[in-house]
Amino acid sequence: MESRFIHSTIPEKEYSSKKLLYPYGELIMTGTIRCSKCDAVILKEGACPKCRGIRCYILIYWKKKAYKIRRDKKTGEPLQYLKALDLLLEINRQIRKKTFNIYDWISSKLNETSFGYKLEQWLKAKEEDVKTGEFSPTTLKNYKGYVKNYYKRFKIDSNGNGGWTNNKNDPQLLINWNVNEIRKSEIVKFKKELLKVENLKLKTKKNILNGLHAFFTWLAIEDPDELISKKDIPDFPKLIGDDSEPRKAIDYETQIQGIKNIPEAHRDIIEFGCEEFLRPGELCALKIKDLDLKNKIVIVRRTWAGSVLKENTKQKKWKIKPLTEIAYKIAIKHAQNRFPEEFLFINQETKRPYRPKTLNEIWKKYSGTGTVFYEGTRHSSLTQLAEAGYDITAIKELAGHSDIRTTEKYIHRSLSNLREIANNRQGKVIKISRKAMSD
């Protein structure tokens, strides 16, 4: 018998400006049943006609937004055609009775699709990446802080305004939304409220926004539930400006005096770091086996990232560096009569390997240079080479940079040299009027 189709009497503005129709009996239903694998529309029981997949989801438009329902709200089981059809029928009944509420179908009761649930999945995935050495534990720690202090505290009220709350049960929290609901408009509201947060550097605010973008990128590329695709990643607004303080660089004499101010028990590791232009994490991670004293070289092959010893460097590759004469003497002193697997430098106070945090505390306490450890050692040593007129490509190799543009960031004159240039301007600069007359 030929089917008769009766349009729903619910005004179009109540559910969508773009109706998707699904024929069944005497109804034209709002929403479609689609294949979870290829997104093809499925019109009858059985496998997908396009890819033969059996898992499906309901796609429904509500108030001009698309929502995907992938699981049974009672059992949590993935949908197949007949179950999806039952649910779609129930949704349409609620629409006709004007009792339909999208949050009854995609709220935290079905948290497999909620923003908050997916954030937790994202963090767990990153924890696994840390274990395999594919992700920085320091970055993971930052992400956890962003989730706790910002992503999970953001809400959008009934008037569409953004804000913050510490009430975990607030129904207006963004974490209760389906991830498919979040679009550029919500991200813009988040950015707007983030900019209002006081006592937070702009660089940190950028990192918080970038972390949110990283989450959506993971959701589109790596999430096993495939809730969104790359094209579904919301457009992210950019934060303009930079309030980060420029790194300070000190001249050679100041650096040497700073090293002399360090207690003798800690002096060797700091001087070695200056001589070899090493990052603090790489310096503390050096082992006896990394030295080739016969050829006067050191192989940088691991680093400390927080409390985790990573068996690779920042660029994820080994770097062979020549030992200077001073570094060579320090290496011989500390490697003598010791096992290859031992760390090269041991803190004589704790009898344990140094950590970057400890070195920074020692440098700030004793050096008297007004710089942090990284600035006073590696950064200043590289700047000194640039000021001495050495080729930037040679500096790049000594620094261990993979991109020369990174090296350029280190090429700054030390503050003392800039002051000297400014002080000596008088008598060395031709007056504009005199130069004009001579022309």
Using one digit for the tens of pLDDT, what is the confidence trace for 336-379?
999 999 999 999 999 999 999 999 999 999 999 999 999 999 99
Is the distance from CB of 120 to CB of 32 less than 8 angstroms? no
- Tell me the range of 127-141, 220-234, 257-271 where mean pLDDT is highest: 257-271
Task: Tell me the three state secondary structure of residue 98.
Answer: coil
Q: What does the pLDDT look like over 141-195, one tens digit per residue?
A: 999 999 999 999 999 987 889 999 999 888 789 998 878 778 899 999 999 999 9
The β-bridge partners of 223 are: none
pLDDT category at 423 given cuts 50, 70, 90 is low
How high is the mean pLDDT of the chain? Answer: 83
User: φ, ψ for residue 205 (rounded to 5)?
Assistant: -65, -40
Q: State the pLDDT at residue 432.
A: 46
When pLDDT is averaged across residues 51-79 and rounded to a whole number, the result is 80
pLDDT category at 6 given cuts 50, 70, 90 is very low
> Residue 346: in which H helix or E strand, if any?
strand 346-347
Query: Number of C-alpha atoms within 13 angstroms, CB side, residue 223?
Result: 25
pLDDT at position 306 over 90? no
More confident residue, 57 or 205: 205
Task: Tell me the three state secondary structure of residue 237.
Answer: coil
Closest C-alpha to 244, from 294, 301, 190, 206: 206
pLDDT category at 305 given cuts 50, 70, 90 is confident
Residue 103: how many CB atoms within 10 A of its CB? 16
pLDDT at position 293 over 80? yes
User: φ, ψ for residue 159 (rounded to 5)?
Assistant: -90, 0
Is the distance from CB of 344 to CB of 283 less than 8 angstroms? no
User: How far is residue 31's CA from residue 256's CA, in Å, rounded to a whole number?
Assistant: 73
When pLDDT is averaged across residues 17-25 and rounded to a whole number, the result is 43
Closest C-alpha to 238, from 296, 297, 195, 175: 195
DSSP 151: I
User: How far is residue 333's CA from residue 132's CA, in Å, rounded to a whole number?
Assistant: 35
pLDDT at position 265 over 90? yes
Is the distance from CB of 193 to CB of 162 less than 8 angstroms? yes
Task: Tell me the three state secondary structure of residue 356.
Answer: helix
pLDDT category at 412 given cuts 50, 70, 90 is low
User: How far is residue 259's CA from residue 10's CA, in Å, rounded to a whole number?
Assistant: 78
User: How far is residue 377's CA from residue 274's CA, in Å, rounded to a whole number?
Assistant: 5
Which positions ≥6 away from 146 have C-beta within 8 Å?
207, 208, 211, 212
When pLDDT is averaged across residues 380-406 and rounded to a whole number, the result is 86
pLDDT category at 422 given cuts 50, 70, 90 is low
What predicted TM-score, i.e. pTM, was given to this entire model? 0.59
- Tell me the range of 44-53, 197-206, 316-325 where mean pLDDT is highest: 197-206
Q: State the pLDDT at residue 349.
A: 93
More confident residue, 2 or 265: 265
pLDDT category at 413 given cuts 50, 70, 90 is low
